[in-house]
Amino acid sequence: MKNLVVFSIVTIIFAASCNTKTTSKKHMNIVPPKADKVEKHLEKHGDVRVDNYYWLNDKDDDEVIDYLERENDYYEKMTAHTKDFQKDLFEEMKSRIKEDDESVPYKLNGYYYITRFEKGKDYPIYTRKKESLDAKEEILFNVNEMAEGYSYYNLSGMSISPDNKLISFGVDTLSRRKYIIHIKNLETGKVYEEKIPLTTGGSTWANDNKTLFYTRKDEQTLRADRIYKHVLGTNSKKDELVYTEKDETFGTFVYKTKSRKFLVIGSYSTLTSEYRILSADTPNEKFNLFQERERGLEYNISHFGKDFYILTNKDKAINFKLMKTSEVKTTKEHWEEVIPHRKDVLLEGIDIFKEYLVVNERNNGLNKIHIKPWDNSESHYLPFNTETYTAYTTQNPEFDTKTLRYSYTSLTTPSSLLDYNMETKEQVVLKETEVLGGKFDKNNYDSKRLWATAEDGTKVPLTMVYKRGIKMDGSNPLLLYAYGSYGSTIDPYFSSIRLSLLDRGFIYAIAHVRGGEYLGRNWYDDGKLLQKKNTFTDFIDVSKFLIEEKYTSKDHLYAYGGSAGGLLMGAIVNMAPELYNGVIAAVPFVDVVTTMLDDSIPLTTGEYDEWGNPNDKEYYDYIKSYSPYDNVEAKKYPNMLVTTGLHDSQVQYWEPAKWVAKLRELKKDKNSLLLHTNMDAGHGGASGRFEALKEVAIDYAFILDLEGIKD
């Protein structure tokens, strides 16, 4: 559900292959598990849905755990012949990754910060050096030591106090995104006894070096709904409640501006935002409202000098514009235009420096980085020479510098980190991600952008990468990936992991379907609410295009999507199952009606502006018409692998479990249908960098086996 984009495994993991094969003789005696049918009548708007597998939503029920374990056992037996191949794939992918790696240092408040990995270790080591890179290394955290004894461990939200002496950080050991905030003294190495439970993990310090602001979650829904103030050395149970977000469709967060002058409380929903500000020097005073919320008014704020800069859709600026206002007159009637709205350019973000404004734009689907001097001298864009790349600004915490740090990658080029001198236009490649093994050469691969025509005449872009020299005769296995929700854009990026598919003859393609923002805000609006089906039909039409143009065929086309992209997978196998030989649905959001009617489930109420509120009959009927679980029919389906996590807080495990049970009951084919539940992890999968590769190997082995590729 919300921030399903945020689903990094999806983007890291995929590119593929496959071939039409039904259950082989060696599997004939393996009987799939059968879930009990217990009728549950669900009525809304006079419509009654019968849900025979509703009972699977109680993970405290031993019978539910037993069913999931039987599904896992079935998966193990059905894939036993690929276990050695999975191990080989894992070692192959791991061998390309530089194990003893470290990040490019960035400077913040007098210290250089570096993240490094040691050979054979799964977790990072966070370090810093004072003033000079030649200074003695100070270890902030060795997460490998902290993670010992845990099957899942995630450290996030690190925040350094202004005097550099303290660090706050969040820890999640269940993959439920319920972080406990701790505070460490960086001079003594001591972690204080005070613990702050049930948070988002992030926090921010006031300028007094003792007051910490953080966001707490609702125990049941996990909605981030309250901002608290903690004073160092006190019991967190006595923390002062600073702000409560009462609207159940909103969440809230807190941060400090880059100028370090203001603390900011933000409230957000899909369509609306609101901010409150307070001087970071006076943490005990009251936050002031910046601009009260108005439904449909989106804005975010950055501070520079004596002004705030506002990125906003005010005045029907669909693709957003940039405005500014005095820090003492912040309501919208005082906002002045800096960069006007443009119909063909999406304004995605800004970076502010003492002498430059850097604007992140998107034009015709492509990232643009625009350098604009404050003195109104000539502006310019960074030059990029392909249509299958991603470029974005990264760590730029300092104001007084002419150096812009940005990242660049393409489907054929490993990710690079660069420093660009905004005055001289000179740039230095600080680091290009190494692909070990001695076999990778970017010149051995080709990439391109193509346009398919959707059923309503809309041109839908797709990007692809493949091994140079392959023949486009319809015989190539092709993995097609998409996400298509929340305005989240999946840009083309390089993956060394994906080489395990490309080098075996696969084409990997990304369909930039409506529901993302690849072609601007309208592209998102045309793929949500009562236009959501455009996401599904776009994917199907891209699939047909790839077959018609002989990049692949129905016998060799595979589809992959996760989370909200898993909903996409569920929809396409109901709507056009004949197009695909295999489909992988990772943590799929497939029981849309039931979930969106249950406001006790984490994050549901904040989703109404994305999917619609089914308490309204118009939205109920529309959602029901595409909800994958509600539309399973007695017909043939492709080979399918469905994955989930028992502790997933965003797409609950029972959605894919129920979906698979219903598919088993109704499908009229002998194709593989596998459910694999990670009994330890949640939405993002395993926490270690190499443990996550084992999950990729599971997915790859599934489609490679279907394609008849054994090594």
683 among known catalytic residues: yes
Q: What is the 3-state secondary structure (H, E, C) of 327-338?
A: CCCCCHHHCEEE
Neighbours of 288 (CB within 10 A): 13
CA atoms of 588 and 574, how far apart (whole Å): 14
Detail the DSSP E strand segments found in 94-187: 106-108, 111-116, 125-130, 138-142, 154-160, 166-172, 179-185
- Backbone torsion region of residue 414, taken as left when φ is above 0, otherwise alpha when ψ lies between -120 and 50, otherwise beta: beta
Q: Which of 648, 676, 699, 705 is catalytic?
A: 648
Asked if 688 and 682 count as a contact pair (C-beta separation under 8 A), the reply is no
CA atoms of 539 and 480, how far apart (whole Å): 9
Q: What is the 3-state secondary structure (H, E, C) of 318-372?
A: CCCEEEEEECCCCCHHHCEEEECCECCEEEEEEEECCCEEEEEEEECCEEEEEEE
Least Cα distance to 355 among 320, 322, 403, 390 occurs for 403
Looking at this protein, which amino acid is placed at residue 280? A
**Residue for token pair 């609101």:** 274
CA atoms of 418 and 136, how far apart (whole Å): 25
- Backbone torsion region of residue 459, taken as left when φ is above 0, otherwise alpha when ψ lies between -120 and 50, otherwise beta: beta
Q: Which of 556, 683, 687, 705 is catalytic?
A: 683
CA atoms of 571 and 579, how far apart (whole Å): 13
Backbone angles phi, psi at 114, to 5 degrees: -140, 140
CA atoms of 695 and 682, how far apart (whole Å): 13
Least Cα distance to 35 among 51, 20, 23 occurs for 51
CA atoms of 674 and 51, how far apart (whole Å): 21
303 among known catalytic residues: no
Say whether 416 sits in a helix, a strand or coil. strand
Count of residues in the chain = 711
CA atoms of 237 and 241, how far apart (whole Å): 10
DSSP per-residue codes, 589-634:
---HHHHHT-TTSTT-GGGHHHH--TTSHHHHHHHHHH-TGGG--S
Looking at this protein, which amino acid is placed at residue 177? R
Q: Which of 269, 410, 495, 563 is catalytic?
A: 563
| Residues forming a β-bridge with 240 | 229
Detail the DSSP E strand segments found in 206-327: 211-217, 224-231, 240-244, 251-256, 262-268, 273-279, 288-291, 299-304, 307-312, 321-326
Asked if 192 and 230 count as a contact pair (C-beta separation under 8 A), the reply is no
648 among known catalytic residues: yes
Least Cα distance to 678 among 687, 668, 670, 686 occurs for 686
CA atoms of 553 and 116, how far apart (whole Å): 44
- Residues tagged active-site: 563, 648, 683
